[in-house]
Amino acid sequence: MRFGQFRNIVKDALEHAGIIARFLCCVHVTSNYLFSTVHVHGVSMLPTLNLSGDVLILDHVSPRLGKLQVGDLVSVQSPLNPKRVLTKRILGMEGDTVTYFDPSRGDTTLTAVVPKGHTWIQGDNVYYSFDSRYFGPVPYGLIQGKVIYRAWPIDGFGSLGH
């Protein structure tokens, strides 16, 4: 093999490596800062989400811009276990007074004021959801994304807004 051929092979390999590196950077930026998908399953969001699981599309821009409101579904890093991600509905923003039902205390309702920089989240299935009723208001910084669409199952495709 001549030196010129070797140089061309190295040049082509570096060119391909550059294309792959740019592609991976785009994937990283898109999935961490713009949009991503998440697979969610469990009973806490019944009947909105399926017990067997849903694939949801998350918007990562809205939480950073403060474009969340009561009724939005959000993906939140658990305040008690950072390795766990929860999907819940926002029931209160900072300054709101939230009245909630605590199944562990019988038929009583309780109230809480959401402090500055926090949100109150709850699952739609109040009897089987581990949420703000147990660990309190969630710091806004733990919100990873706003759920904008259900991508799977296909018969449930669409917006999951208010």
Catalytic residue annotation: 44, 88
What would the 3-class secondary structure string for the chain be? CCHHHHHHHHHHHHHHHHHHHHHHHHHHHHHHHHEEEEEECCCCCCCCCCCCCEEEEEECHHHHHCCCCCCCEEEEECCCCCCCEEEEEEEECCCCEEEEECHHHCCCEEEEECCCCEEEEECCCCCCCCCHHHHCCEEHHHEEEEEEEEEECHHHCEECCC
